[in-house]
Amino acid sequence: PPRNGDRRRGEGRAVGAMALNPGIPIRGIKMKFAVLAGLVEVGEVSNRDIVETAFNLV
């Protein structure tokens, strides 16, 4: 897998999209933002995924 600084446009998107669409629904806005923050912390999502998800959560 590519390193965080070595991502090309479009790569890694499937991982981010899959991680942001869990099989079990997450209830509660605080928990949703906590999950997003955790994914950002470990570098599993692209900047575009972060922005799209934040807009969907608010």
Tens-digit pLDDT profile for residues 2-58: 555 544 444 444 444 455 555 666 678 888 888 888 888 988 788 888 888 888 877
Task: Look at residues 58, 7, 52 and name the one whose alpha carbon lies nearest to residue 19.
Answer: 52
Number of domains in the chain: 1
Tell me the three state secondary structure of residue 10. coil
**Residue 5: HSE in the Cβ half-sphere, 13 Å Cα cutoff:** 0
At residue 40, the pLDDT reads 87
User: What is the residue range of 33's domain?
Assistant: 4-57
At residue 55, the pLDDT reads 84
- Residue in the block written with tokens 């923050």: 37
Q: Are 39 and 4 in contact (CB under 8 A)?
A: no
Structure tokens at 51: 């922005």
